[in-house]
Amino acid sequence: MIEIKISTLSDGEFNRGVFATRDITKGELIHEAPVISYPNEEHEHIEKTLLADYAFEYGINHTAILLGYGMLFNHSYEANAVYDINFDNHTFDFFAYTDIKAGEEILINYNGEVDNMDPLWFNKDYEEAIAKQEELEKEEKEKEKETN
């Protein structure tokens, strides 16, 4: 159903992605990725490695490294797949959010929800974008106070 190929989304050293080998129907389970979870306080050790770029939040006090193809799904704000965390099975379950054609790259929104357009935490401009967003929200609240 899926395979790893070179992705055109990046020209970096690790420019791989997950691609459909056949048509996949909306709602169909694409992949169950087992996880290795660890307490958040241990993440400082992972941050010193390349694995930090591939870690996912896993509940309130844990982080997880995904096995299988789980860490190879690329990000898009126009995702065609979504994932659910299955705490009972200790897996991230990837489902087709839309119909996906054979040969198409399977993309998820790293923010966790398909329609979440927040800046990604690992982008250089993340902190700047968050500060700008907070400033805009503050200005909107002040305008609301003035009109009331």
Chain segment 114-130, per-residue pLDDT in tens: 888 887 766 655 566 66
Please tell me the predicted confidence (pLDDT) of residue 136.
83
Q: What is the pLDDT of residue 113?
A: 87
The C-alpha atoms of residue 140 and residue 12 are separated, in whole angstroms, by 39
* 116 three-class SS: coil
Number of residues that this document lists for the chain: 148
pLDDT in tens, 71-129: 999 999 999 999 999 999 999 999 999 999 999 999 999 888 888 888 776 665 556 66
Question: What's this model's pTM, rounded to 2 decimal places?
Answer: 0.78
- In this prediction, residue 22 carries a pLDDT of 99
CATH class of the domain defined by 2-117: mainly beta
pLDDT value of residue 139: 86
Question: Pairing mode, if any, of strands 91-96 and 29-39?
Answer: antiparallel
pLDDT score, position 135: 82
- Residue 124, H or E segment: none
List pLDDT tens digits, range 50-79: 888 888 999 999 999 999 999 999 999 999
Residue 41 has pLDDT above 60, yes or no: yes
Query: Structural domain boundaries of the chain?
Result: 2-117, 119-148
| pLDDT higher than threshold 90 for residue 42 | yes
- Name residues whose C-beta falls within 8 Å of residue 104's C-beta, 6 or more positions apart in sequence: 19, 20, 80
Instruction: Determine contact, residues 75/108, Cβ cutoff 8 Å.
Output: yes
